[in-house]
Structure 1
Amino acid sequence: MGNSSGAEVHFTQKASFAPLPDFAIGPDIPSSGYLTTDLGGGLYGVTSGLVNTMFLVTKRGVVVLDAPRDLGDRFLAAIGEVTTQPVTHLVYSHAHADHTGSADLFPGSPTVVAHELTGNLLKMANDPHRPLPTETFSGRHHTLNVGGERLELEYPGDFHQPGNLFVHAPDHRVLAVIDSFTVKSAPFFRLLFTAHVPTYVASLNWILDYPFDTIVTGHMSQFGKPEDVEITKQYVADLHSSGQKALKMVDYNDAVRHVPAENRQARLKVYVDTVVDTAADIMPKSWADRLGGFDIFLKDNVNVVVWSLLND
């Protein structure tokens, strides 16, 4: 297969992954490419299988959370199957394009609501597919009232990205915390790319401070419950414990004994990789039966926790 430079690209690596447990697979996605779930009281969840989000039908229009790139115009189709009301408000959970990269598809210039930190990041991105917010707030809390319905927007701290929001529909007992964890599966890519593991850990406790029955987390096809948060908390606690044990077990000088002394970058890499490998071996293997994708993202997640133990 060729690329634009004319160079040949060959894919030779074959990955081997454990099969997903049945509980982690989630519902089948119809041929339309999306599945809509009635969450009650005019609130609906939508998933493509890779991403998920929600929208709220009110007397004055539809409020949508995010505009995931993988859903694209299928999000509009999902809304159109439920209501003829126009989309009047779009809430950005945060700035990342995988969740906001189709925002330009909504017709009629809806009011775009976000934290000002999200607005700042989008200004830097200068992406025509992610229109700038038209309504921002700078504090911790903002209430959005539309057509007799209420959403509470909370900025608790940077568990994922500056400006990331908790979006609570208290009358529906639904909470959305996009990119917080993955329902029925291990968090992927370094605990969802968190920049600060202690804040990530704290965010799982913050989630449980809310009264909710259903949680929308942004990826894969399932919506969660409070017990899913508890399971993720236990998983992260085991990552932390395994990392602590590995740091005590691995001797730096022993780990780097075959690496030239002057190559300090290589010595650091070899040491940390040895700690991560050791911690991954320590992690209870029972997690393979409790979370889907445990093997896939284990070393990614151990790595970010080990660095946090070293630096935070």
Structure 2
Amino acid sequence: MYRETEFLSGRRRFLKGAAGALAVPAAAALVGPLAVPAHADDSGLPDFAPVPAGSVGPTPNADGYYVGRIEGNLYWVTDSYYQSMFLTTTRGVILVDAPPTIGHNLLRAIKDVTRASGRPSKVTHLVYSHSHADHIGAAGLFGRDVIRIAHAAAAPLLARAADPNRPRPIVTFHDKYTLKFGGETLNLAYHGPNHSPDNIFIYAPEYATLMLVDVLYPGWVPFKGLAVSQDIPDWIKAQHIAMDYPWRTFVGGHLGRLGVRTDGTVQIQYMDDLEASTRSAIDSVDPAPYFTKYGAQGNSWAIFKTFLDEVANTAATPVTAKYTGVLAAADVFTKDNAWALLESLRIDAGILGPFGVRP
């Protein structure tokens, strides 16, 4: 059964740490010591800064999952890598996402909760946040008669994939869809492409909870390459749209804990700092050595690679220093995130640096 005391204790630890997170220096002064790396071992693998205590969620049980109540009849499940959310109703369960790393533990978690509440345990509705296999790759576990709901753009993507583990949605929508069932409500909305062309916002109004996957990462920096997002400008915009919702609790689809509003504010600040640093690095890194060496060899791709890598490294260095100890894995993915943002600034914003129009 879920351990509310442990969850609430972890949440309080985070809130205490998050209150200080906003005290990081402003973008104009990206300074700060790096945290002491974890103790080296004999594996030969790199060492990274310790994960801040406030970034860690509740400990999974012996079967590898944790299930906890968000509020009322709304629950969440995590294996510390991925997350799902579900509503128990008088007529069945509404599940949002089915990550394959959690897999059959979703069924166990739902039974844990419904056995205690006396509500039906059958999953009647399955909402897809988006079409990616790492978030809905266990959808096939719930049978053919479950009502699968997704954005209209997910249907052709899933048809192309022809993946039996990701059955195509039965119900699709374009802008908004209200799911009312068994005395519970979920509001689904599409605000344009971001991480993927079909990624939606899932809001439980009675419980002031928003689920938005692969956009905000409570307590952590975004995954590599700004979450491998297909539309970086709209992915950045989606962070702000999320903050316009009146949520108290956030489910991000990844990692081990829920989010609070401070998490969104800190990530937006991280992204603002990263953009300011990347724009500065485009101007400060001298392209001449790269053009001189690799141009003489006729190797255009080597010019691009070495110059852009150096810009990303230059941009990432002060941001990594500022957020290490504030956001988990700042030293793991900030350079990759700077590289993705750099490419977006070049391609989407026309900030081409030495590859622009020659005088």
TM-score interval for Structure 1 and Structure 2 normalised by the shorter chain:
over 0.9
Q: Would you say the 8 A contact 2:320–2:334 is kept in 1?
A: no
Q: Would you say the 8 A contact 2:57–2:258 is kept in 1?
A: no
Higher mean C-alpha displacement, 189-198 vs 31-40 = 189-198
Q: Does 1:76 align with 2:107?
A: yes
Please give the secondary structure, in 2, of the residue aligned with 1:259: helix
Equivalents in 1 of 2:210, 2:270: separation in Å? Answer: 21
Any unmatched runs of 5+ in structure 1?
1-11
Quote the residue 2:274 is aligned against.
239
Higher mean C-alpha displacement, 49-58 vs 24-33 = 24-33
Quote the residue 2:200 is aligned against.
165
Percent identical pairs in the alignment equals 38
Quote the residue 2:151 is aligned against.
115
Equivalents in 2 of 1:18, 1:99: separation in Å? Answer: 28
Aligned structure 1 segments of 4 or more residues deviating by more than 6 angstroms = none
Any unmatched runs of 5+ in structure 2?
1-42, 115-119, 349-359
1:1-312 correspondence runs (5 A): 14-83=45-114, 84-107=120-143, 109-137=145-173, 139-261=174-296, 262-283=298-319, 285-312=321-348
Equivalents in 1 of 2:288, 2:178: separation in Å? Answer: 55
Q: Would you say the 8 A contact 2:49–2:331 is kept in 1?
A: yes
Equivalents in 2 of 1:93, 1:244: separation in Å? Answer: 33
Equivalents in 2 of 1:48, 1:265: separation in Å? Answer: 41
Structure having the larger proportion of residues in helix: 2
Higher mean C-alpha displacement, 155-164 vs 24-33 = 24-33
Q: Would you say the 8 A contact 1:255–1:274 is kept in 2?
A: no
- The structure-2 alpha-carbon separation of the partners of 1:248 and 1:162, relative to structure 1 and needing over 3 Å to count, comes to same
Q: Would you say the 8 A contact 2:84–2:253 is kept in 1?
A: yes
Please give the secondary structure, in 1, of the residue aligned with 2:246: coil
Equivalents in 2 of 1:69, 1:205: separation in Å? Answer: 29
Please give the secondary structure, in 1, of the residue aligned with 2:332: coil
Q: Would you say the 8 A contact 2:320–2:331 is kept in 1?
A: no
Compute the displacement of 1:13 (Å).
Answer: 5.8
Equivalents in 2 of 1:248, 1:147: separation in Å? Answer: 58
**Alignment RMSD (CA, Å):** 1.3
Compute the displacement of 1:254 (Å).
Answer: 2.9
Equivalents in 2 of 1:109, 1:178: separation in Å? Answer: 25
Q: Output the amino acid matched with 2:253.
A: G
Please give the secondary structure, in 1, of the residue aligned with 2:70: strand
Q: Would you say the 8 A contact 1:256–1:270 is kept in 2?
A: no
Compute the displacement of 1:108 (Å).
Answer: 5.8
TM-score by length of 2: 0.81
Equivalents in 1 of 2:309, 2:145: separation in Å? Answer: 49
Higher RCO (C-alpha 8 Å, min separation 6): 2
Q: Output the amino acid matched with 2:148.
A: V
Quote the residue 1:3 is aligned against.
none
Equivalents in 2 of 1:115, 1:275: separation in Å? Answer: 37
TM-score by length of 1: 0.93
Q: Output the amino acid matched with 1:94.
A: H
